[in-house]
Structures are given as structure tokens and as C-alpha cells.
Amino acid sequence: MDDVATKIIDILKKHMKEPKDDISLTTALSDLKIESLDLAMIVFDIEDTFGIEIPYNA
């Protein structure tokens, strides 16, 4: 797995109520049981980590 994928998975795990060890690039977000507020925080973390801006309609 490349560095970008690893960083994104680490961000997802940080915001999960019950982090899973078996998250991969093919894991569906619905399987992670992430609430909408947590998803917003995940987007903010991804933007900060990679120095990008993700449009709200993405």
C-alpha cells in the first residue's frame, strides 16, 4: 500500500468509534460505521494532511 493510502486509512481509524485493523482501499465507508460529523472531521484532516481542498459537493 502506498503512503497516501496508509495516511488516509490512519485518518479513518483515528475518527472511528471502534477502529478496525482490516481496513483496505476496497472497504466501503458504510462498513466503517462513521457518523456524518466524524466524516466532516475526516475530510478536514485529509485536507490538512495533504494541503488540498475538497469541494463540498464532492
Task: Flag whether pLDDT at 1 surpasses 80.
Answer: no
Q: How does 8-45 read in b/e, with b if 16+ C-beta sit within 10 Å?
A: bbebbeebbeeeeeebeeeeeeeebebeeebeeebeeb
What pLDDT does residue 51 have? 97
What pLDDT does residue 48 have? 98
pLDDT digits (tens, 9 = 90+) for 4-41: 999 999 999 998 888 888 899 899 988 888 888 999 99
What pLDDT does residue 7 have? 96
What pLDDT does residue 3 have? 95
Task: Flag whether pLDDT at 45 surpasses 90.
Answer: yes
